[in-house]
């Protein structure tokens, strides 16, 4: 099980009793990209990042970072001080042995090893090893926003040239699943025969939330657009032609709000990627959570819960400001993996002193390469999150902002119960 190391307790002035308590909490992980046990795992992601132009990554993502060694040691008993090529065969053998022994139970084995009870995973579709109730599905719905030609949108950057064809392919897949062979002639018909049935089918299949990776392809500013404007754009180009950026943005904005409204009607949370990466051509400023404010405050979306996956990253204070809205949540994913625990602790303290009931733990567990699989990053994410939460709550106790008893309550909320309530998981 992921455990706060004694060296951390010595390094930071944390409450040792609280640290031990947080260690024992069985977590609900709000955001991951856990893999199935299927070969190649074809439904892992809607936007495979390995296809875009090479870009610099944070040192915490590099296999020579100490986090990876600690994770390999905790999960597989790796005995060496670094993940060097000389020792990789030994680690691969250990991983292969566990995979062989566990079979389709491997993902559940991982949860037991890291102290996670339930893990939400973003995927095109679920698969072997990722069965409920331990694993819950979060689908990708960006593709539903792009029914028209994306030729002009793709030309914006080399990365978007890679991303948009995947969106077109996923939309075709969703339509094929519904036995809809061509786009309907009107936007209303598109909603009735493609968009709403797709989301309803996902919810019926156990999906608890829908995910927008929109910031990788466009701004998070989804304006309020008159229906007649969106209808006219759709009708003008549904049979062919390429809409201008302004025309297509108006249509996307309108479709986004329809998807969010339908998700709320079905009790599904809307997850929105908000972070400072990835990619050499990624527009970080377009991922600011404040850009989504007009949608969040739309009265017709008051029944829709929005969650900023990765907590906004460098815009964490902006995401925290939006927590004043009762339908807004944040999680620690990405930050728990890429930020040092003390940096995440500062962010958590800001959130927790104001709205502790809408802060969720998330790891962003994912496969970052053949020798850095998702289970290692899951261990890193939950371990760093426990450390950061311990630091933040210890500081709040010392400052007289909370009692030790209240700090324990908040820890349970963040690591477990806020997600349990949001997704109606039936946990105690």
d(C-alpha 85, C-alpha 368), whole Å: 16
If DSSP codes are grouped into helix, strand and coil, which group holds residue 403?
coil
Dig out the tokens for 371 from the structure: 């020798």
- Full-model pTM: 0.96
Per-residue model confidence (pLDDT) at position 62: 86
231: in domain: yes
- The reply to whether 214 falls in a domain is yes
Residues 6+ apart with CB under 8 A from 253: 222, 223, 224, 225, 230
Q: Is residue 67 part of a domain?
A: yes
Element at 410 (helix H, strand E): helix 404-412
pLDDT of residue 7: 60
- The total of structural domains in the chain comes to 1
User: Whole-angstrom Cα distance, residue 414 to residue 27?
Assistant: 9
Residue 11 falls inside a structural domain: yes
Output b/e per residue, 72-108; b: 16+ Cβ within 10 A.
bebbbebeeeebeeebeeebeebbeeeeeeeeeebbb
Report if residue 32 sits inside a domain.
Answer: yes
DSSP run (H or E) holding 128:
none
367 CB contacts (<8 Å, ≥6 apart)?
33, 35, 44, 373, 374, 377
In a domain, 427, yes or no: no
Residues 6+ apart with CB under 8 A from 100: none
On whether the CB atoms of residues 3 and 70 are closer than 8 A, the answer is no
- What ranges make up the beta strands (E) of 125-242? 135-140, 207-212
**Per-residue confidence (pLDDT) for residue 54, from 0 to 100:** 82
Identify the pLDDT of residue 3.
57
**pLDDT mean values, one per 10 residues, the chain (428 residues):** 58 86 97 95 89 84 90 95 89 95 98 98 97 98 98 95 96 98 98 98 98 97 98 98 98 98 98 93 96 97 98 98 98 95 97 98 93 94 96 96 97 98 97
User: What pLDDT does 402 receive?
Assistant: 97
- Helix H, strand E, coil C: the string for 15-75 is CHHHHHHHHCCCEEECCECCCCCCCCCCCCCCCCHHHCCCCCCCHHHCCCCHHHHHHHHHH
- The Cα 45–Cα 240 span in angstroms is 28
CATH value at residue 296: 3.20.20.140
In terms of residue numbers, what domain contains 28? 6-422
* Residue the block writes with tokens 């132009």: 53
CA distance 338 to 381: 8
Residue 1 domain-assigned?
Answer: no
Q: For helices 196-204 and 158-177, give the axis angle rounded to 10 degrees.
A: 70
pLDDT digits (tens, 9 = 90+) for 4-20: 566 655 677 789 899 99
Residue 322 lies in a domain: yes
Q: Radius of gyration of the chain from Cα atoms?
A: 22
End-to-end CA gap in the chain: 20
Cα 221 to Cα 289: distance, rounded to the nearest angstrom: 9
Region label for 416, one of left (φ > 0), alpha (ψ between -120 and 50) or beta (otherwise): alpha
Q: What is the pLDDT of residue 1?
A: 55
Cα–Cα distance for residue pair 341/112, rounded to 1 Å? 23
């Amino acid at each position: 099980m992921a455990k706060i190391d004694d060296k951390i307790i010595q390094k930071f002035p944390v409450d040792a009793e609280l640290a031990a308590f947080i260690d024992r909490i069985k977590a609900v992980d709000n955001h991951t990209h856990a893999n199935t046990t299927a070969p190649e795992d074809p439904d892992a992601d809607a936007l495979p990042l390995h296809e875009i132009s090479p870009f610099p990554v944070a040192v915490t993502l590099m296999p020579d970072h100490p986090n990876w060694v600690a994770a390999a040691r905790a999960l597989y008993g790796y005995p060496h001080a670094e993940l060097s090529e000389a020792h990789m065969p030994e680690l691969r053998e250990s991983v292969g042995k566990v995979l062989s022994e566990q079979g389709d139970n491997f993902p559940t084995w991982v949860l037991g090893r890291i102290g996670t009870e339930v893990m939400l995973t973003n995927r095109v579709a679920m698969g072997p090893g990722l069965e409920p109730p331990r694993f819950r599905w979060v689908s990708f719905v960006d593709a539903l926003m792009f029914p028209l030609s994306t030729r002009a949108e793709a030309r914006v950057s080399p990365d978007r040239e890679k991303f948009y064809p995947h969106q077109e392919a996923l939309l075709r897949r969703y339509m094929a699943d519904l036995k809809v062979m061509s786009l309907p002639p009107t936007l209303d018909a598109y909603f009735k025969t493609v968009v709403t049935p797709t989301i309803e089918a996902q919810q019926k299949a156990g999906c608890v939330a829908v995910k927008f990776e929109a910031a990788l392809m466009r701004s998070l500013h989804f304006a309020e657009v008159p229906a007649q404007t969106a209808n006219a754009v759709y009708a003008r180009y549904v049979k062919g032609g390429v809409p201008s950026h302004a025309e297509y943005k108006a249509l996307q904005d309108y479709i986004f709000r329809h998807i969010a409204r339908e998700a709320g009607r079905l009790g599904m949370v809307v997850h929105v990627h908000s972070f400072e990466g990835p990619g050499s051509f990624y527009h970080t400023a377009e991922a600011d959570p404040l850009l989504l404010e007009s949608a969040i405050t739309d009265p017709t979306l008051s029944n829709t819960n929005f969650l900023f996956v990765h907590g906004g990253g460098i815009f964490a204070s902006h995401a925290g400001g939006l927590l004043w809205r009762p339908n807004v949540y944040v999680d620690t994913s990405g930050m728990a993996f890429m930020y040092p625990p003390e940096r995440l602790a500062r962010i958590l303290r800001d959130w927790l002193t104001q709205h502790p009931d809408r802060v969720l733990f998330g790891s962003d567990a994912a496969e970052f390469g053949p020798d850095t699989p998702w289970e290692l990053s899951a261990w890193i994410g939950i371990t760093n999150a426990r450390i950061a939460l311990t630091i933040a709550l210890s500081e709040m106790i010392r400052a007289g902002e909370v009692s030790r008893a209240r700090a324990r309550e908040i820890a349970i909320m963040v690591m477990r119960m806020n997600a349990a309530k949001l997704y109606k998981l039936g946990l105690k």
